[in-house]
Amino acid sequence: MRYIFIVNPHAGEADVTAKIRAAVEGTPAADECEIYVTKAPRDATDFVNGWCDAHPGEEVRFIACGGDGTVNEVFSGAAGKENVSVTCYPCGSGNDFVKAFGGAEKFLDIAALLNAPVQPLDLLKVGDRYSDNVVNFGFDTTVAITINEERAKTGHGNKNAYTKGVVKALITSMKNTFTVKADGETLNPEGKALLCTVANGQYVGGSFKCAPRAKTDDGLIEVCLIKPISRLRFVKILGTYTEGKHLDDPKMRDIVVYRQAKKVEITAPAGFAYSLDGEIIRESRFTVEIAPGALRLAVPEKA
């Protein structure tokens, strides 16, 4: 077995390459480990693809060291490949993906990552891209765009960017134009919504439990659409939504549309933006489909 740590030096607020290197050198499997430091966006995906092509049949575990963007790149490169397992050392600003497994602290023991048993992981397939966590749009995308703008200014992740994004979205994105179909059923015939999350994982935006019933290995997509509401009502329901209680709260039944599906189709005006695990993509028509068991995910037993 080879263990390859793929490190994004720009994830989070500090470069953790030296810390990871020291931890790896202290494990009994140090000789089977190597570290690759990414150089540019999408580099992790290209590296994983290239490594697998150059080492056909060799058993390997890729460990994504960074935030949700790094996890997405590594997992996307490994999707569908034989003799490959993946896991992550979460050191980004949000680390949403691992919250479905108990949180970042469960994945910060290097030795545990090397020895972790594997389980199947579904992915969301959007065209030729994959999402391991959430595809979201509407209010959420305005927040994500702001986060990316802040990261471009500072060169690293910043938790305060989430707050700035929410404030901006409250001003500009309370009523968005798009139509969502889940397994052929139109969820918002009027073509308007506050937001929609199409999820495999449970969390988005650092703390929002958008898909509380999501399971990463059940072969189903969680779809939650929130109808347009006033800013006053938004403030009132924000806590409920953040805690993941919105699917069961009777006070939100008139504005929440929830489905489980295998295929979700979105139609929107030209220039429409959505977020795929934090990456902003502009596309007016796209389809999200479930890819059951597309990866083998190594999850530490204590998670």
Q: What is the CATH number of the domain that holds 146?
A: 2.60.200.40
Show Cβ contacts of residue 63 under 8 Å, excluding neighbours closer than 6 positions.
3, 4, 5, 6, 74, 86, 87, 88, 89, 113
pTM of the model: 0.92
Residues 42 and 154 in one domain: no
Residues 44 and 140 in one domain: no
Residues 280 and 138 in one domain: yes
* φ, ψ (nearest 5 deg) of residue 210: -75, -30
User: CA-to-CA distance for 244 and 238, rounded, in angstroms?
Assistant: 10
pLDDT score, position 157: 55
Residues 200 and 113 in one domain: no
Residues 28 and 76 in one domain: yes
Residue corresponding to tokens 């590594």: 74
pLDDT score, position 14: 83
On the 0-12 / 13-18 / 19+ scale of CB atoms within 10 A, 298 is buried
CB 226 within 8 A of CB 255: yes
pLDDT score, position 159: 63
User: Over the stretch 9-68, which tens digit does the pLDDT of each residue have?
Assistant: 988 778 899 999 999 999 999 999 999 999 999 999 999 999 999 999 899 999 999 999
Residue corresponding to tokens 């949403």: 96
pLDDT score, position 143: 85
pLDDT score, position 158: 61
Q: Kindly state whether residue 303 falls inside one of the protein's structural domains.
A: no
Residues 218 and 165 in one domain: yes
Residues 175 and 110 in one domain: no
CB 187 within 8 A of CB 181: yes
User: Over the stretch 104-156, which tens digit does the pLDDT of each residue have?
Assistant: 999 999 999 999 999 999 999 999 999 999 999 999 899 889 888 877 777 66
Q: Can you give the C-alpha Rg of the chain in angstroms?
A: 19
Q: Kindly state whether residue 190 falls inside one of the protein's structural domains.
A: yes
DSSP result, 266-277: EE--TT-EEEET
Q: Kindly state whether residue 148 falls inside one of the protein's structural domains.
A: yes
Counting the structural domains of the chain, the total is: 2
Residues 146 and 280 in one domain: yes
Q: Kindly state whether residue 172 falls inside one of the protein's structural domains.
A: yes
Whether residue 222 has pLDDT greater than 60? yes
Which range marks the domain in which residue 61 is found? 2-123+294-298
CB 262 within 8 A of CB 220: yes
Residues 110 and 243 in one domain: no
CB 258 within 8 A of CB 220: no
Residues 118 and 146 in one domain: no
- Three-class DSSP category at 221: strand
Read off the CATH number of the domain in which 49 is found: 3.40.50.10330
280 pLDDT band, cuts 50/70/90, is very high
User: CA-to-CA distance for 13 and 21, rounded, in angstroms?
Assistant: 18
Residues 277 and 148 in one domain: yes
Residues 245 and 264 in one domain: yes
pLDDT score, position 286: 98
pLDDT score, position 152: 78
In the DSSP assignment, the letter for residue 93 is S
Mean per-residue pLDDT for 169-178?
A: 95
User: CA-to-CA distance for 181 and 172, rounded, in angstroms?
Assistant: 25
- In 15-132, beta strands by DSSP E: 33-37, 60-66, 84-90, 118-126, 129-131
Q: Using alpha carbons, select from 98, 27, 23 the residue that is nearest to residue 67.
A: 98
pLDDT score, position 203: 95
Of 282 and 165, the structure prediction assigns the larger pLDDT to 282
